[in-house]
């Protein structure tokens, strides 16, 4: 029965993520999980409880991955659900580690268990974001992005905020057991962090810089069909037209299915004229800057096409390229196929169409846009990696996150947006998102959602660029802070665990 409850608790906890967003379910799930861990009679049983909890949470929370398989013909669509289950079985290893460690430290001690679980959860989420290229999607902290508690991530980061959420669940569990003093003690780290990092009043800028974000509503089912380029340019041009002051104009990831640049083997541009660039420039006026996602073609030493890049270009009205960013954190199986010779022989392929694998860029960089300020870029799911989104040696004024969320059904886009909001809080920087089908948005430096366009609707956002904050504590020190916070909680759990054990009267 314990094992069934663990799986169902994990399943229900996934409803705390977007698009349902029932965030109180997450701390309640951790309260139930603390009770299940305390009832585990052995380490083996505790590990199985943790693994089943993780499987339940990931299978439901990541169901959007299955949708991506419906937009290609190289593999059967049902393989998408196989991918969801297999990925969930692997990702569940991380909560399993956290729960196993917390059982060892605090299985029969009132305060040690939630402290150890919170610390171990933060560290294992951080590990999940880095091991085997990392998959940082849906840290439990993201369920708090619609609450004032998101402000804590400016100091303790996303993984520290996850620890705080687990502590809230632990406090609920202790209160249910009438362990009042330990319950209050569990809240102390949260209260201290909240006092230091409670959200501040919104900023109002005086140097108004006009921006327009375009959402053409081009679905993945149409993205690469013949003749789509003409229609894409028409939609983008219509939404980009208009009078007014000079603007920053933002188009989505790979806005049109035509290359914007040809590169040599060293990924340096070659002087090859392409029709896509002049067609794009017809949509902008003198004084405007067009920032668009596009792909480049990479040639080998013989001049043959060998691969591609997933890039962002900043173009003036007269075709000057102020800078190019190449996506660095690529999606395995989406943009490249690991162990290509072996997996290709098995009939597997990458999901995104292209010639060969996508080549990765060097990592975060800042592009100087002149009078419009300095821009950091994170393409698509790069924005989910906490502490890895800007060049801290050349801090930008805002982050542009072009994305193609058309792959991900109804669940993926709102989850992606929520994680972008956490990056804004952590770095103290506005985040602007442009996607083909939604959700395009403007997020201020405190994670507030100022403007957005709904899913599957063409439109545009006309606004001004939000003001950045000074570098936050997290922006200065990165994930050193949440990792140290996690270890301190574990050490605290060990220390208080030397106190009294549970007695029958406590239950």
Residue with tokens 């022989």: 345
Residue 99 and residue 330: Cα distance in Å, rounded?
30
Establish whether 327 is a catalytic residue. Answer: yes
Give the whole-angstrom CA distance, residue 125 versus residue 158. 9
User: Is residue 346 helix, strand or coil?
Assistant: coil
Task: Identify which of 137, 4, 22, 105 has the alpha carbon closest to the alpha carbon of residue 422.
Answer: 137
Q: Is 209 a catalytic residue?
A: no
**Three-state SS for 299?**
strand
**Residue 34 bears catalytic tag:** no
To which residue do tokens 């991918």 refer?
A: 83
* Residue of 18, 125, 253, 335 marked catalytic: 253
In sequence order, the 6+-apart residues with CB closer than 8 A to the CB of 68 are: 80, 334, 351, 407, 408
Distance CA 238, CA 435 (A): 16
Residue 440: φ, ψ to 5° = -80, 150
Tokens 């200065």 found at: 476
* Residue 45, number of CB atoms within 10 A of its CB: 17
Q: Which residues contact 387 (CB under 8 A, 6 or more apart)?
A: 157, 426, 474, 478, 479
- Among the listed residues 34, 125, 209, 327, the single catalytic one is 327
Instruction: Verify cis geometry, omega within 30 degrees of 0, for the bond prior to 248.
Output: no
**Bond before 439 cis per omega within 30 degrees:** yes
DSSP β-ladder status, 459-464 and 449-452: unpaired
Half-sphere exposure of 158 (CA within 13 A, CB side): 32
Greatest CA separation found in the chain? Answer: 80
Long-range contacts of 96-102 (CB under 8 A, 24+ apart): 96/47, 96/50, 96/51, 96/54, 97/50, 97/124, 98/50, 98/123, 98/124, 99/33, 99/37, 99/46, 99/47, 99/49, 99/50, 99/53, 100/43, 100/46, 100/47, 100/50, 101/490, 102/37, 102/493
DSSP helix/strand/coil, 34 = helix
Q: Which residues contact 279 (CB under 8 A, 6 or more apart)?
A: 233, 256
433 near 402, Cβ under 8 Å? yes
Pairing of strands 305-316, 321-326: antiparallel
Residue partners of 414: CB distance under 8 A and separation at least 6: 18, 19, 21, 439, 455
DSSP helix/strand/coil, 351 = coil
The residues annotated as belonging to the active site are 253, 327, 380
């Amino acid at each position: 029965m314990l094992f069934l409850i663990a799986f169902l608790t994990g399943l229900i906890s996934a409803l705390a993520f977007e698009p349902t967003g029932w965030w109180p379910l997450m701390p309640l799930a951790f309260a139930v999980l603390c009770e299940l861990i305390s009832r585990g009679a052995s380490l083996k049983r505790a590990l199985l409880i943790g693994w089943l909890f993780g499987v339940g949470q990931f299978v439901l929370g990541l169901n959007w991955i299955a949708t991506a398989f419906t937009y290609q013909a190289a593999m059967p669509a049902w393989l998408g659900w196989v991918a969801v289950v297999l990925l969930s079985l692997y990702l569940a290893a991380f909560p399993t580690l956290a729960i196993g460690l917390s059982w060892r430290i605090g299985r029969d001690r009132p305060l040690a268990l939630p402290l150890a679980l919170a610390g171990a959860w933060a560290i294992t989420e951080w590990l999940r974001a880095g091991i085997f290229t990392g998959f940082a999607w849906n840290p439990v902290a993201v369920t708090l992005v619609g609450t004032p508690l998101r402000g804590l991530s400016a100091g303790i980061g996303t993984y520290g905020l996850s620890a705080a959420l687990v502590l809230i669940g632990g406090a609920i569990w202790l209160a249910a057991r009438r362990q009042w003093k330990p319950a209050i003690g569990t809240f102390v780290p949260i209260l201290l962090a909240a006092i230091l990092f409670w959200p501040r009043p919104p900023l109002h800028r005086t140097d108004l810089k006009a921006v327009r974000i375009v959402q053409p509503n081009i679905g993945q089912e149409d993205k690469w069909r013949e003749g789509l380029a003409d229609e894409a340019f028409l939609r983008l041009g219509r939404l980009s037209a208009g009078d007014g002051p000079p603007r920053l104009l933002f188009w989505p990831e790979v806005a049109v299915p035509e290359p914007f640049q040809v590169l040599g083997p060293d990924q340096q541009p070659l002087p090859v004229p392409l029709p896509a660039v002049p067609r794009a420039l017809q949509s902008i006026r003198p004084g405007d800057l067009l920032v668009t996602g596009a792909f480049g073609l990479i040639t080998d030493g013989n001049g043959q096409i060998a691969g591609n890049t997933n890039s962002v270009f900043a173009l003036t009205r007269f075709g000057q390229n102020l800078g190019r960013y190449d996506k660095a954190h690529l999606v395995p199986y989406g943009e490249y196929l690991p162990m290509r010779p072996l997996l290709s022989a098995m009939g597997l392929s990458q999901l995104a169409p292209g010639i060969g694998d996508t080549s990765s860029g060097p990592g975060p960089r800042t592009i100087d846009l002149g009078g419009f300020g300095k821009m950091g870029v994170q393409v698509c799911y790069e924005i989910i990696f906490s502490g890895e989104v800007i060049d801290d040696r050349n801090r930008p004024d805002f982050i542009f996150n072009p994305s193609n969320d058309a792959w991900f059904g109804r669940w993926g886009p709102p989850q992606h947006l929520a994680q972008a909001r956490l990056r804004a809080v952590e770095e103290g920087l506005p985040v602007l998102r442009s996607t083909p089908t939604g959700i395009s948005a403007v997020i201020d430096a405190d994670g507030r959602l100022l403007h957005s366009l709904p899913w599957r609707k063409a439109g545009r956002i006309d606004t001004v660029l939000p003001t950045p904050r000074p570098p936050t504590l997290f922006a200065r020190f990165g994930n050193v802070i949440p990792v140290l916070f996690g270890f301190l909680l574990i050490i605290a759990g060990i220390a208080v665990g030397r106190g009294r054990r549970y007695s029958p009267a406590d239950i």
